Structure 1
Amino acid sequence: MHNKELQILCYGKNLSKYDVAIDGITINKITKTENPNYLFITIDTKGMKAGTVSINFKEKGEVVLSQPYEFKIRKENSAKRKGFDSSDVMYLIMPDRFANGDSSNDSHKNTTEKVNRSNPGGRHGGDIKGIIDHLSYLKDLGVTALWSTPLLEDNEPAYSYHTYAQSDLYRIDPRYGTNNDYRRLASEMHKLDMKLIMDYVTNHWGSKHWMIQDLPTKDWIHQWPEGFKRSNYRMTTQFDKNASQVDRKGCMDGWFDTTMPDMNQSNPLLLKYIIQNAIWWIEYADLDGFRVDTYSYNDKKAIAKWTKAIMEEYPNFNIVGEVWMHNQSQIAYWQKDSKIGAIDHYNSYLPSVMDFTLHDAIIEMFKEDKSEWSKGMIKAYDNFTNDFLYPDSNNILVFAGNHDTNRINEIYQENSNVYKMVMTLICTTRGIPQLYYGDEIGMLGNRDKNGDGDIRKDFPGGWIEDSKNAFLSSEIKNGRTINQEEYHSFTKKILNWRKNKPSVHKGKLLQFIPFDNVYVYFRYDDKESVMVIINNSLKDQKLDVARFKEGIKNYSVGTDIITDSNIDITEDFSVPAKTSMILDLK
């Protein structure tokens, strides 16, 4: 490993009273805390061979306990692994709601909450085997990377299906499967040339975590005199030079929820623990990236150390952080090498952030049919005018929705024409497109009216008792409905086309101010060019080709990959109302 220093956490009743020795290894440091049940052993692994050693606990010179500890062989070229990037299309699932491949683990003797599919906020039984069983569906759809919400154990007595209140950072929740099942998921995905992204949670653990039940140190978590104190959620306090200390502390140290104790990353023992845990999962499961939950709620200096440590081990890896803010400069602050962060003498070392301002625009602009100064497609244009704020605008996650937002097809009332315009934008603009499971078949959900369970419904066909199976074509009995097929076929077409378009992956973006609510932009490099047209007006619109000569250059024909038709782009042509075109220029 790049970092040779290893911290081994040992836990047991009154363990700190013993002397410790490790066969053939020099111990650099032993750290004891106010809790006698913990010992933290620091060793230097430089030159160490793979194999199993014994950690011996002694009393009066006699060994009273011997614990085997294994050093494993790294995968060849592990440090050079390549993470997800803008050539990928990321698909987000909630494993409990995607597919139930093994009904025998729906409930488990070692976890409290049992399966209850009739409860929108309960456990429904989806699992890792269900994901593996449907990798061919994702491959066929055109997906190249999978982001699953957390799969680690969450032993809360209720509402545990989202798994963000984790009770063991080294164990897959048994209702999803085993650690080996997770490894197999990564292996099967790699066979299909797909990437696996772990949803990693640094800001909080679950109230039932075994270390929360018996804290190593009082400052392992942020504690308040009044007991529970919820975060004020004002992430702006992290960089506001005028912010009061009480407000800054209220954001960083307040708890995200009652069942989610806020972790104190500034505690060096805890920070080392989560750095090593993250690296362990990368090595163990052969991961291709992290999505970090609530990134900007962490102690910002400590989370930068966490991120930097991982990226030093894996220079080509990728980590995208959830920075849910509504201003590009505030989001850009958190990306690696930000000039905005530099004003504050801060570098997060975070390669990628999520484009929440584009999401904000998407859920409004397609309702705005008329061309006005600040409404309609100008919102998309304006979003990208601020790309100068980002150190790497191509390493940004772009999306129409996720597990915390209302379904895009609910927002636009099952309007497939709008869905197609949204997907056109997401899949052809700069950045890394991300889909939310079920959007490609028109799934609906409104959390404001019906709670989170409504935007996290089961994928139809993921359970053996389902009457309809949306994993299957509409041509197959009980497969997708005709309406679902319309959404799916469009998504499949555009995603699979995108796989082989370097100009869309890494090319430049050239955009034109929208007129008549028609947004035109080009993605191009030295070898190819793509012209994208989104007509968000209620009328067919004729394009003045001369205006776009800068992008069209010497090309004369555009093949619309949506309709498979060729268009003469040397003359003005019409774009139907509420439609989009993606023209491969020739």
Structure 2
Amino acid sequence: MSFRRKEESHIVNVLYRIIIMKKIIYIFITLFTISLSAQIDRVEPPFWYEGMNKSEVQILFYGKNIAQNSVSVSNNVVVTNVTKTENPNYIFVTIDTKNVKAQQLQFTFVNGKKSFKRNYEIKIRRENSALRKSYDASDVMYLLMPDRFANGNSNNDSSSELQEKANRSLPGGRHGGDIAGIINHLDYIKELGATTIWSTPLCEDNDKGYSYHTYGQSDVYKIDARYGTNEEYKQLATEMHKKDMKLVMDYVTNHWGAEHWMFKDMPTYDWFHQFPGYAQSNYRMTTQYDINGSKRDAKYCMDGWFVPSMPDLNQSNPLVLNYLIQNAIWWIEYADLDGFRVDTYSYNDKDGIAKWTKAITDEYPYFNIVGEVWMHDQAQISYWQKDSPISKIQSYNSYLPSVMDFTLHDVFGNVFNEDRADWSNGTIKFYENFANDFLYANPNNLLIFLENHDTGRFNQIYKNDFKKYQLGMTIMATMRGIPQLYYGSEIGMSGDKGKGDADIRQDFPGGWTGDSNNAFTTSGRTSEQNQFFNFTKKLLNWRKSKSVIHTGKLTHYIPENNVYVYFRHNDKESVMVVINNAADNQKINLSRFEENLAGFTSGYEVISDKNVELKNELSIDAKSSMIIELKK
């Protein structure tokens, strides 16, 4: 019995040692696998969605010498392509997710006898996501700069991970406005009558200074920590949708910031345009279609850098183009976005940006995208709109649904100081601008505006003249297109472009604790601020339900004595708009408007809340406007 017990004891000890060794081996393998898995520093897109029209997703894996591995994926998902570049720290793996349901996939990376795994999630897509309704002419867009609008969370004013710290005393510094501040004041924007918010970019911008505008992005999959988190951005969209409001992302396809992690370790030499290194854009967008232009000039427009701190992206590189397409689609799905505004649209490689735009609108047929095409000629702006009669001449189609009406902005910038009309000055400028609408494929889908974050402030140009503000806003609210209001104009905010961009991007009063003037509330506004606000609120809320303004036909008449008259009309309604830009009162002979006034004998004037008779003459005060809902 004694011998038998010794033998059993020995066997137990051996088995125990084997178990211990297995645990040690398991721990070693786990640690080894973790160390190899740590070889992956970034995965982009971080996840994807089931049921996408773009079922093939190209996943970027980034890490030290990651390209030395071969790659496979679990669950019978097909790897359709593996692309390795001259930089061994990148590997691009394309998988086909068609008919792949939401699940956790597992990528296996093998290098000789070493291997490790990385999970990748395919998420459930929102119901009817592809059919999301975007903004259109029934909307009013409110443009704000988040750093300057409201500080809802003072704890994120600075970040240990980002270079520039908050300094509200510095005009061009970070002031601390954030996503929480926008959410806190959605009711203010809704009360004003705006239905859509266009926020300047919110993705991370890690420049050492002047980063508050966020157009030099350093990570396009991450919200800047000084604005909040990705989750907070998604929350912003959710809270807006509860209020029947829409969120537009400011998307930048042309360039990133010099602090972008990819610029510091380029996937390919030609990921960015190289000359080698930096070369300035000539900013001459006309070179994009000039049949007499030199190839060199066209190259320096498209490929030259906007500024030295913004390396120019090469959309003619298929990897770059696909990266930008996927990033845009990812944000739409992730944050549940309602539209894009695209920065410096006409500086991009024009074939590449057309492919990008088409890919987005193929995925989302009703998704609106407005491009910044800062030009001063209708034909040149029209070239960039989808199905343009101008670009058809060169067999080009940008597929861009909307463009910004900069020629109308040019008129707004000086016309209300022209008290006396002549052949080319005064309200004839409006008439001539709209007379060129035949050049556009879709004038109703143009973005119209008095000003934006890059232009002179309307109220600065006109020295806070309320009558001139009324004139400008009346036209913008009743004319064809999608009106865009720049934050603060509705309370009379001004700012001198000559003093620099920071002056036209001042903090909204009341957005910071301790502000002496809180313009977000009636009681906190000054009498002048309330005068501006109340007029704007009345006008924009009236516009909300007026389909005749959103989609009705425009008929306008040649101005006389600096008075411009036009009608918006459809089969059910007709609205007469009268703009008196003269310095004196006017009497208007109504007989010349017979084709639009036939059958109408009176009307309701929206601004004054009064009924008016429409017999022989109509009187209107100097520098004033009338919006008349016609009645039979």
Q: Do these two structures clear the TM 0.5 threshold for a shared fold by scoring above it?
A: yes
Q: For residues 151 and 241 of structure 1, what CA distance do their matches in structure 2 show?
A: 38
Residue 26 of structure 1, CA deviation: 1.9
For the pair 1:583 / 2:623, whether they are aligned, the reply is no
Query: Which whole-Å deviations, capped at 9, do the CAs of 1:172-216 have from their partners, x for residues lacking one?
Result: 000000000000000000010000000000000011111111000
Q: For residues 519 and 490 of structure 1, what CA distance do their matches in structure 2 show?
A: 21
1:551 to 575, 580, 596: 596
Tell me which residue corresponds to 1:240. Answer: 290
Residue 585 of structure 1, CA deviation: 1.0
Residue 551 of structure 1, CA deviation: 1.4
Q: For residues 304 and 114 of structure 2, what CA distance do their matches in structure 1 show?
A: 46
Tell me which residue corresponds to 2:15. Answer: none
Q: For residues 265 and 431 of structure 1, what CA distance do their matches in structure 2 show?
A: 30
Q: For residues 194 and 370 of structure 1, what CA distance do their matches in structure 2 show?
A: 41
Tell me which residue corresponds to 2:539. Answer: 494
Residue 125 of structure 1, CA deviation: 0.1
Residue 4 of structure 1, CA deviation: 1.6
| Farther off after superposition, 123-132 or 553-562 | 553-562
Query: Which whole-Å deviations, capped at 9, do the CAs of 1:131-183 have from their partners, x for residues lacking one?
Result: 00000000100000000000000000100000000000100000000000000
- Paired amino acid for 1:54: Q
- Paired amino acid for 1:493: K
Q: For residues 170 and 595 of structure 2, what CA distance do their matches in structure 1 show?
A: 56
Tell me which residue corresponds to 2:183. Answer: 132
Tell me which residue corresponds to 1:53. Answer: 105
Tell me which residue corresponds to 1:121. Answer: 172
Tell me which residue corresponds to 2:514. Answer: 465
1:511 to 556, 563, 574: 556
2:321 to 271, 281, 285: 271
Q: For residues 460 and 51 of structure 1, what CA distance do their matches in structure 2 show?
A: 48
Tell me which residue corresponds to 1:203. Answer: 254
Tell me which residue corresponds to 1:178. Answer: 229
Residue 553 of structure 1, CA deviation: 2.2
Q: For residues 598 and 91 of structure 2, what CA distance do their matches in structure 1 show?
A: 68
Q: For residues 113 and 384 of structure 2, what CA distance do their matches in structure 1 show?
A: 52
- Aligned residue for 1:269, secondary structure, equals helix
- Aligned residue for 1:83, secondary structure, equals coil
- Aligned residue for 1:493, secondary structure, equals helix
Instruction: Give the 5 Å matches for 1:23-422.
Output: 23-24=74-75, 25-63=77-115, 65-225=116-276, 227-422=277-472
Q: For residues 427 and 600 of structure 2, what CA distance do their matches in structure 1 show?
A: 26
Q: For residues 172 and 524 of structure 1, what CA distance do their matches in structure 2 show?
A: 44
- Paired amino acid for 1:37: N
Q: For residues 44 and 54 of structure 1, what CA distance do their matches in structure 2 show?
A: 14
Query: Which whole-Å deviations, capped at 9, do the CAs of 1:248-270 have from their partners, x for residues lacking one?
Result: 01100110011100000000001
Query: Which whole-Å deviations, capped at 9, do the CAs of 1:312-354 have from their partners, x for residues lacking one?
Result: 0000110000000000000000000012101111000000000
Q: For residues 529 and 198 of structure 1, what CA distance do their matches in structure 2 show?
A: 35
Q: For residues 109 and 552 of structure 1, what CA distance do their matches in structure 2 show?
A: 65
1:529 to 554, 559, 574: 574
Residue 230 of structure 1, CA deviation: 1.1
For the pair 1:442 / 2:487, whether they are aligned, the reply is no
Q: For residues 264 and 581 of structure 1, what CA distance do their matches in structure 2 show?
A: 50
Q: Which consecutive residues of structure 2, in runs of 5 or more, have no partner in the other structure?
A: 1-51
- Paired amino acid for 1:466: D
- Aligned residue for 1:498, secondary structure, equals helix
Q: For residues 237 and 55 of structure 1, what CA distance do their matches in structure 2 show?
A: 46
For the pair 1:451 / 2:500, whether they are aligned, the reply is yes
From the CA coordinates, give the structure whose radius of gyration is larger.
2
Residue 396 of structure 1, CA deviation: 0.2
Query: Which whole-Å deviations, capped at 9, do the CAs of 1:511-567 have from their partners, x for residues lacking one?
Result: 000000000000011100110000000111111111111112211111111010110
Q: For residues 105 and 450 of structure 2, what CA distance do their matches in structure 1 show?
A: 50
| Farther off after superposition, 54-63 or 498-507 | 54-63
Query: Which whole-Å deviations, capped at 9, do the CAs of 1:415-434 have from their partners, x for residues lacking one?
Result: 00000000000110000000
Residue 228 of structure 1, CA deviation: 2.0
- Paired amino acid for 1:216: P
Tell me which residue corresponds to 2:60. Answer: 9
Q: For residues 118 and 497 of structure 2, what CA distance do their matches in structure 1 show?
A: 49
Q: For residues 461 and 155 of structure 2, what CA distance do their matches in structure 1 show?
A: 37
Q: For residues 432 and 279 of structure 1, what CA distance do their matches in structure 2 show?
A: 24
Q: For residues 583 and 292 of structure 1, what CA distance do their matches in structure 2 show?
A: 36
- Aligned residue for 2:110, secondary structure, equals strand
- Aligned residue for 2:189, secondary structure, equals helix
Q: For residues 496 and 476 of structure 2, what CA distance do their matches in structure 1 show?
A: 21
- Aligned residue for 1:304, secondary structure, equals helix
Q: For residues 415 and 576 of structure 2, what CA distance do their matches in structure 1 show?
A: 21
Q: For residues 402 and 576 of structure 1, what CA distance do their matches in structure 2 show?
A: 29
- Aligned residue for 1:339, secondary structure, equals coil
Tell me which residue corresponds to 2:619. Answer: 574
Tell me which residue corresponds to 2:26. Answer: none
- Paired amino acid for 1:452: D
Q: For residues 107 and 66 of structure 1, what CA distance do their matches in structure 2 show?
A: 36
Q: For residues 573 and 395 of structure 1, what CA distance do their matches in structure 2 show?
A: 32
Q: For residues 409 and 447 of structure 1, what CA distance do their matches in structure 2 show?
A: 12
Q: For residues 171 and 32 of structure 1, what CA distance do their matches in structure 2 show?
A: 25
Q: For residues 4 and 105 of structure 1, what CA distance do their matches in structure 2 show?
A: 37
Residue 584 of structure 1, CA deviation: 0.9
TM-score by length of 1: 0.98
Q: Aligned residues: percent identity?
A: 62
Residue 61 of structure 1, CA deviation: 4.8
Tell me the matched-pair count.
579
Q: For residues 203 and 184 of structure 1, what CA distance do their matches in structure 2 show?
A: 28
- Paired amino acid for 1:242: N
RMSD over aligned CA atoms reads: 0.7
TM-score by length of 2: 0.91
Q: For residues 268 and 397 of structure 2, what CA distance do their matches in structure 1 show?
A: 28
| Farther off after superposition, 175-184 or 20-29 | 20-29
Q: For residues 577 and 59 of structure 2, what CA distance do their matches in structure 1 show?
A: 54
Q: For residues 616 and 603 of structure 2, what CA distance do their matches in structure 1 show?
A: 11
